[in-house]
Structure 1
Amino acid sequence: MTESTRLPSSLATWVERVLGPLACVRDASHARDNSQVWRVTGRTGDHYVKVAPKPILYTRETHAYRLAVPHLGHGNAPVLRDSSPELLALILTAVDGEPLKEEKSPAGRRVAHRQAGRLLRRFHDAVTGPLVQPETARVVENTVAGLDKHLAEAGDHLSAAEADMLRHLVSTLPGCGRLPAGWRHGDFLRNLLWNGRRCALIDFERSEGGPLVTDFVKLATSLWPERPELRIALFEGYGRPLSETEERALTGFAAADAASALAYGPRHGDPFVTARGRRTVERLLQEGRL
C-alpha cells in the first residue's frame, strides 16, 4: 500500500474487509483535536473513513444517512457504504467539489445557493410528523435554559445592556407558537460543496429532528447581512419563505447563537466566531431583529 499515513490497525482491518486492499491512505481530518477522517483509495475508488468523536455524533450521522440523506438524490451527498458502532466509524463514498465559500463568481454563488436551498428542503422534508415534532419543544427549552451559562462565559465581551437584550429575545422563543419541524442538518453552511455545476451536502453528525428554522441561523448571522441576494437565491430553491412565526423564532435563536459565539470564540481563540457574535449583537441592538 502506497500511503502518506496509516489507519489504526483495527480500523484498517474493518475497512479492507469492506473495500478490499487499499492503495493509498491520506489524512483528511479537520483542524481540531477530535477530528479523525481519512481519504482512502482502492479498487472501488475513493472513499472517506470517518471516526466520530462521541457515540451521540455517530448515532446522529448514521441515522441521517439512513433516514434523510437518500432523499437528497444521486451525487448530491456521500453514500454510506458501511458503519461500525464498535469503532464509531463510517465508510462514505467521495463526492466531487470544494467548499462553496471558495466560489468567487457572484452568478455562480447565486446558482449554488439556489441548489443548496433545494437540497435543504429535501433534507427537511425527509422526516416529519410525530418523529420530530416533540423535539421542537425540547430544542426551545434547551436554548432558553442554556443561555445564562453562555452569558456568564462571555463575560466582559457583553455589556449588561447587551446581555439583557439577548435574554429578552431568547425568552420570546416559547411564545412563538408551533414551528415547522423536520430533520435538520445542524451545520448546513459549512458543509456545502460546489464543483461549478452541482451542489452537494456532507457531514451529518449534528443532524437530528427539531425546528427547521435553526438551520438558517448561521446564514442569517454570518452571510445574508452582506449578501442579501444569496438569501433570495436560497429561498427560491427552498420553495417557500420563512413564516412570520419562523422569522420571530429566527431572531430568538440568533440571539442565543450570539451568546454562544461570544462564549466560545474568545475562549478558543477563534476570531471568526467571536466576530460573528459581535456583529449579531450590534445588529440586534440597532434593529431589534434579523
Structure 2
Amino acid sequence: MTNAVSLPPDLHQWVARHVTGMDTAAVTDASWPRGDSRVWRVSADRGEVFVKLYPCAEKYEREVKGCEHAARALAADEAPRLLASDPQRPAVVLSALPGRVVRGLPLEQAEEQHVHCLAGDLLRRWHEVPEPISDLEHERIMASVTAQTDEAAMILDRLGDQLSPAERDLVRDAARDLPGLAKALPLGYRHGDYSPRNWLWAPAPAPGHHSLIDFEESAPGLMVEDLVWLCGAAWPTRPDLRDAFLAGYGRPLSWTEQRALVLLTARLGVSYLSTGLTKTDTVLIDRGRTVLQHMVGALR
C-alpha cells in the first residue's frame, strides 16, 4: 500500500524533531493491509525513513529489542537502524534499506534460489547471536507450546469429522507430542515472522543484496518456529527453495527439529481452518486445508 497521506499532527511534530525537512516531506502509507501497526514512508531532505506506530507497548518493545539484536547479529545494511523511539506513543523512526519486498517479486528460478540461500544465511547469523533467556521467559515459551497443543486438541474435538483420517492423526500427534519435543529443541532469539514479506532484495549491483525488516514479533523462543511459514507455504511445492535455504542456514534440520516443524505447521494449518470455518472466510479455509494436506505429505 502506497497511498499519499499525512502523519497524525502530534506524530508529525515528534518525527520533525528527528528528521529534517518534514515541512516538505512526501509521506505515503506503507502499512500491511492486515497489520495492526501503522507504517509510513517519509521522503525528506536527507533521504527516506520509515515511521512506525504500534497498537501496544509489547510490539513496540519487541521492535526496539529486535533492532538492537539485529545490530549485533547482522551487517549494518542488512536491517533497519533505530533512529528514534518513544515508548509513550509508542512509535519509532527507522532507516530505509535498499531493495523491494521479496513477496510477489517476479524472480527467475535461479535468482529466487539465491535469495532463499541468502535468507537462510541471514537467519543462521540472527540465531547464532545469543540473548539471555530468563526463567520467566523459558516458562512463557513452554506455556506458548502448551497453548498451541491445547488449541489443536480442542479443534480436533470440534472439527475432527471435517478432517481426513491422516489429518486427524497429524493434529492428534501435534497435541500429544509437541510439549515433549519442545523440551529438546534449541532456544534462541526468533525473528517471529520470517517470510518473504519481510525480506528485501536489491539485485543490483551484483551479486545482489538481501536484508530483513519488521521485528515487532521478535522474542526468545523455539528457533525452529522461524521456519513455520516457509514449511507451510513455500517448501511443499518448491523443495528447491528448501534446499537453497538450508544450504544458507549451514546445516540440515535434526530429526527432532523436522518433526516439531511439521507438527507446529500442522497446528497452524488447523487453526487457519477453524478460524475460517467460524468466520466463513474461504481464504483461511483453503489455506488451512492446503497446509494440512502438505504436512500429511511431509510425513510420508
Common fold: TM-score over 0.5? yes
The superposition leaves residues 59-93 of structure 1 with CA deviations (integer Å, 9 ceiling, x where unpaired) of 11111111234422121111110111111111001
Q: Distance in 1 between matches of 2:58 and 2:154?
A: 22
Structure 1: any 5+ residue segments left out of the alignment? none
Do the aligned partners of 2:41 and 2:48 also contact (CA within 8 Å) in 1? yes
State how 1:249-260 maps to structure 2 within 5 Å: 249-260=260-271
SS where residue 26 of structure 1 aligns? strand
The superposition leaves residues 208-267 of structure 1 with CA deviations (integer Å, 9 ceiling, x where unpaired) of 111111111111111011111111111111111111111111122112111222133455
Residue 120 of structure 2 corresponds to: 117
The superposition leaves residues 161-182 of structure 1 with CA deviations (integer Å, 9 ceiling, x where unpaired) of 4445413233211222411111
Cα separation, partners in 2 of 1:206 and 1:33, compared to 1, 3 Å: closer
Q: Distance in 1 between matches of 2:282 and 2:200?
A: 24
* Residue 195 in structure 1 maps to residue 195 in structure 2: no
Instruction: Compute the displacement of 1:122 (Å).
Output: 1.4
Q: Distance in 1 between matches of 2:130 and 2:84?
A: 22
Q: Quote the RMSD (CA, aligned, Å).
A: 2.6
Q: Distance in 1 between matches of 2:288 and 2:69?
A: 33
Do the aligned partners of 1:136 and 1:181 also contact (CA within 8 Å) in 2? no
* Residue 40 in structure 1 maps to residue 30 in structure 2: no
Return the letter of the residue paired with 2:179.
Answer: P
Do the aligned partners of 2:131 and 2:189 also contact (CA within 8 Å) in 1? yes
Do the aligned partners of 2:236 and 2:294 also contact (CA within 8 Å) in 1? no
Instruction: Compute the displacement of 1:284 (Å).
Output: 3.7
SS where residue 259 of structure 1 aligns? helix
Cα separation, partners in 2 of 1:157 and 1:86, compared to 1, 3 Å: farther
Q: Distance in 1 between matches of 2:155 and 2:38?
A: 28
Cα separation, partners in 2 of 1:129 and 1:34, compared to 1, 3 Å: closer
Do the aligned partners of 2:117 and 2:246 also contact (CA within 8 Å) in 1? yes
Per mean C-alpha deviation after superposition, the further-off stretch among 36-45 and 110-119 is 36-45
Residue 264 of structure 1 corresponds to: 275
Residue from 244, 253, 258 that aligns with 2:255: 244
Q: Distance in 2 between matches of 1:157 and 1:59?
A: 42
Per mean C-alpha deviation after superposition, the further-off stretch among 139-148 and 238-247 is 139-148
Return the letter of the residue paired with 1:18.
Answer: H
How many residue pairs are counted as aligned between the two chains? Answer: 286
TM-score of the superposition, structure 1-length normalised? 0.88
* Residue 185 in structure 1 maps to residue 191 in structure 2: yes
Cα separation, partners in 2 of 1:46 and 1:173, compared to 1, 3 Å: same
State how 1:85-234 maps to structure 2 within 5 Å: 85-101=87-103, 102-128=105-131, 130-131=133-134, 135-148=140-153, 155=159, 158-159=162-163, 161=165, 162-163=167-168, 165-176=170-181, 177-189=183-195, 190-196=197-203, 197-234=208-245
* Residue 52 in structure 1 maps to residue 54 in structure 2: yes
SS where residue 68 of structure 1 aligns? helix
